[in-house]
Structure 1
Amino acid sequence: MQLVAETRDSARITAVALKAYARIVEAWALSLKEAAALADMSESTWKRARKPDFSGDLTKDQLLRLSAVVGIYKSLELYFSDPLARTWITRPNTGPLFGGARPLDSAIEGGLPQILAIRTYLDALRGGA
């Protein structure tokens, strides 16, 4: 019985994470390739995953990535006004984490550790640290 409940919970978490991520991808106007790479998925998997009836599983890494991206999105929405909140991730940035690259490219290249570093960076900006 417990395994069935855990499976349902896992499926719900996956569905909610993918729905939120799809909305963020749309808000940020990311390409299919960028969205898939940021989530550490193939483009074909991302095409399937963004549909409401997706029944696949995500790895722990993928779920952590999606969670961190939601945190990044939230921080940007709180810290900046539009249109900067929606375009910050795709604009070249001279900040210490990016060296002139787009935060998106930095996140894709650096994987989960860089995505988490970006989230921490934005949380510190928001908190005044």
Structure 2
Amino acid sequence: MANQKKRPVREGDGLQRLDVSRFAPANRRRLSAPALRTFLTIADLWGLTEEQRLLVLGLPARSTYHNWCKRVREHEAITLDVDVLLRISAVLGIHQALGILFPDERSGVEWLTTSHGALPFGGRPPLDLLTSGSQDGLLSVRRFLDGARGGLYMPPGSIDEAFEPYTDDELGFQ
């Protein structure tokens, strides 16, 4: 197999194609300012320091970060890199999951900042992983919360605590 030539992937090979138009500058420009404004609002809610914000965004230069912030606050257009947009997307997903899993924003922020015994966090607050500077850290928190939304990892919420499982008779199995 090591001597086999690799043939080019062609249309109709049954392989799924990545839609590269999503990464086109025009599309990134359309998404960048609203994404960054939303990120800044969430970062304020979570109480992130400037250093933590820079880490979440992939460590852009401070001057670059401040230029982005100034321009989006003045509703000017900017074009962020794909990496930065992916990071912001992860933050948006984390924020959404916290809103689903917890009854109010304060509880979600408390979860982020409290030590957690789950394997990805190793007894540290999820915010530490989120602000580690790595894309993988952000995505690990996002995946954990997505799993929790699906019923994994976390105990049931107050609405589910009194749930009585259905019996076979109630489901029509006899």
Query: Shared fold by TM > 0.5?
Result: yes
Which of the pair has the greater relative contact order for Cα pairs under 8 Å at 6+ separation?
1
- The one-letter amino acid of 2:97's match is S
**TM-score calculated relative to the size of structure 2:** 0.63
What residue is the counterpart of 1:31 in the other structure?
Answer: 49
Residue correspondence of structure 1 range 65-84 to structure 2 within 5 A: 65-82=87-104, 83-84=106-107
1:10-36 per-position Cα deviation (integer Å, ceiling 9, x unaligned) = 212111110110111011011111111
What residue is the counterpart of 2:139 in the other structure?
Answer: 116
Gaps of 5+ in 1: 1-5
What residue is the counterpart of 2:68 in the other structure?
Answer: 49
Q: CA deviation at 1:48?
A: 2.2
- The one-letter amino acid of 1:46's match is Y
Higher fraction of helix:
1
**TM-score calculated relative to the size of structure 1:** 0.83
- The one-letter amino acid of 1:98's match is F
What residue is the counterpart of 2:120 in the other structure?
Answer: 97
1:31-88 per-position Cα deviation (integer Å, ceiling 9, x unaligned) = 1111111111233322222232455432211111100110001000110123111232
Q: Distance in 2 between matches of 1:7 and 1:60?
A: 9
CA radius of gyration, larger in:
2
Tell me if the contact between 2:57 and 2:133 (Cα under 8 Å) persists in the aligned partners: no
Summarize the Cα distance change of 1:95–1:43 in structure 2 as closer, same or farther, 3 Å threshold: farther
Tell me if the contact between 1:28 and 1:87 (Cα under 8 Å) persists in the aligned partners: no
Tell me if the contact between 2:129 and 2:141 (Cα under 8 Å) persists in the aligned partners: no
Q: CA deviation at 1:123?
A: 0.8
Gaps of 5+ in 2: 1-23, 153-174
Tell me if the contact between 1:33 and 1:43 (Cα under 8 Å) persists in the aligned partners: no
RMSD of the alignment, in Å?
A: 1.9
Q: CA deviation at 1:110?
A: 6.0
What residue is the counterpart of 1:3 in the other structure?
Answer: none
- Aligned residues with identical type, % of pairs: 31
Q: What number of residue pairs does the alignment pair up?
A: 124
- The one-letter amino acid of 1:60's match is V
1:20 aligns with 2:43: no
Q: Distance in 2 between matches of 1:27 and 1:66?
A: 15
